[in-house]
A = this chain, B = another copy of it.
Amino acid sequence: MARPKPLSGFPEFAPAGRIIEQRVLASLTETFELHGFGSIETRAVEPLSELTRKGEIDKEVFVVRRLHAEAGVADELGLHFDLTVPFARYVLEHAGQLNFPFRRYQIQKAWRGERPQEGRYREFTQADIDIVGSETLAAHHDAELPLVTLAALERLHVDFGVPPATMSVNNRQLSEGFYRGLGVSDHLAVLQRVDKLDKIGPDAVATLLVDEVGLSRADATKCLQLAGIRTADASFVDQVNALGVEHPLLTTGLELLAEVVDAAAAAVPGRLVADLKIARGLDYYTGTVYETTMAGYESMGSISSGGRYDSLASDGRTTYPGVGLSIGVSRILVPLIGKGVLTASRSVPTCVLVAVDAEETRGDAMATAAQLRARGIACEVAPKADKFGKQIRYADRRGIPFVWFSSGEVKDIRSGEQVAADADTWLPPAGDLKPTVVRSSLAQ
């Protein structure tokens, strides 16, 4: 086999990068569990019929079939392209074993056959949280979910130097109420055009609204004025009311969005804004919608998106409404690790290399390593009874900070300091025990 080339769109980390990913996933896990979300994992495959129900995405599905499947047997399975479709199926399949409202997180890979680019991969890791009710789900969960997500992202920022996140939130009932208040019947048609604002600009959107949806120039202007509202507090309510449009759905939407913004202003100040142009493409969202940018990486798109869906799943008898947010772990980490914004303090878990005097005394070195491990200190025994200088260089190449000698001494190979030590009591400095994530000067 010649040296293989990387497969475009399938990023893989070298060991040091993987250590960073492990720390990030452990941090996300801890935040989610502290908020009472339990883990589930679903199988990688779902029925193709479920994966291709949403017309928008079917071109991106990877089909899975047995190499020696009988000829003529139709393909039935595909790799999941997100964690929401599998979660909806899981809820229906396991409903009898779940308590509602069901709070779950799910950290898994997903696959899409689309063209790879920065922030967009064919295989990527997502970390999703959702709360799903049986028949009903209280509105306050729409305010809770972004707080959990922003708390998780804030910890990545504070602990590891991941750039800070800003979440933009809107509410579809607000937009729909506003459009209906203007007398528009096809509110989705308006939403779809407004969604193009960032791509084609306000003038082009106004033209589409007039030419394609049949709005008056004045109403189109009002739609753009609505989309232009962006506030870090609940002052958007007054700005919307000043536009003079009225509708019960609009009132409800304003109240719900204000609740979300107020809760966030108290818990994670400065990290969440009401942004009334946010639409989110997928059409199953029915209320609050979220998207999130990472400072300095806005062009990559949203690193965390989601929303409220009033019927995530239904088995015909019971409907399960939910609200969810997904963090794009690969979208965040692949660029940050690739550019060296985040690095690991070393590329191995090993804290101590136990030197070997001679192959005959390897058993003694193994016994010392076992003593250290029993107290949580990760050790390797030197692979070869080389001269000590060579064994120290072996440790140095891996970033292993300490070398232990059978003389009962341990050397910090960075400072060169060598002290007498007892394998039953010695401890490294806390910061050396495990590899850590180091923010480079590139981090904000």
Contact = CB atoms under 8 A, between A and B. Distances in A.
Contacts of A378: 33-36
18 contacts: A1-B50, A1-B92, A3-B93, A4-B89, A5-B93, A7-B45, A12-B43, A13-B40, A15-B104, A34-B349, A45-B123, A58-B67, A61-B66, A64-B64, A99-B348, A138-B384, A144-B381, A263-B366
Copies of this polypeptide in the complex = 2
Given A61-B67, A263-B363, A123 B37 contact: no
Interface stretch (A212-220, A311-319, A418-426): A311-319
Interface in A372-397: 373, 376-381, 383-384, 397
Task: Tell me the dominant secondary structure on chain A's binding face.
Answer: mixed
B41 A315 contact: no
Contacts of A97: 14-15
Contact of A93 (B4, B66, B267): B4
Contacts of A256: none
A442 interface: no
Contacts of A381: 144
B3 A380 contact: no
Contacts of A88: 1
A36 B111 contact: no
A414 interface: no
Contacts of A363: 263, 266
A340 interface: no
A171 interface: no
Contact of A1 (B5, B43, B314, B377): B314
Interface residues of A, number: 96
B41 A379 contact: no
A350 interface: yes
Contacts of A41: 12-13, 18, 21
A140 B44 contact: no
Nearest to A86: B12
A157 interface: no
Given A1-B315, A34-B376, A94-B14, A65 B62 contact: yes
A349 B52 contact: no
B398 A99 contact: yes
A191 to B, nearest CB: 26
A6 interface: yes
A87 to B, nearest CB: 11
